[in-house]
Amino acid sequence: MTTTTYTVTGMTCGHCVSSVTEEVSEVPGVTNVEVDLATGLLTVDSEGRIDGSAIIAAVEEAGYGVVTPS
C-alpha cells in the first residue's frame, strides 16, 4: 500500500471536503481518501503507486487547487 499527502486549497466547508473525497475516490487504484478541512491535507491510500497528476486532476475537477504533493 502507498500513502501520499497533498495540500488542497480553497476548501471552506464540509461540502468541499465531500466533493474532494468523492472525486479522488473515483481515481483507479485509490483505496482510501481522508480530507482534513482545518489543515487542507488530503491523504490518499492506494494499492500501488498512482500518478500524482490523476489525483491533482480529480481535486481540480472538484473545483479546488493543490499546492504540492509530499
Convert the pLDDT of each residue in 18-65 to its tens digit: 999 999 999 999 999 999 999 999 999 999 888 899 999 999 999 999
Identify whether 68 is part of a domain: no
Q: What is the pLDDT of residue 1?
A: 87
Q: Residue 11 — pLDDT band, cuts 50, 70, 90?
A: very high
66 contacts: CB under 8 Å, gap ≥ 6 = 6, 7, 8, 9, 42, 55, 56, 59, 60
CATH value at residue 24: 3.30.70.100
Asked if residue 70 is part of any domain, the answer here is: no
- Which domain range does residue 8 map to? 2-63
Structurally, the chain folds into a number of domains equal to 1
Q: What is the pLDDT of residue 37?
A: 97
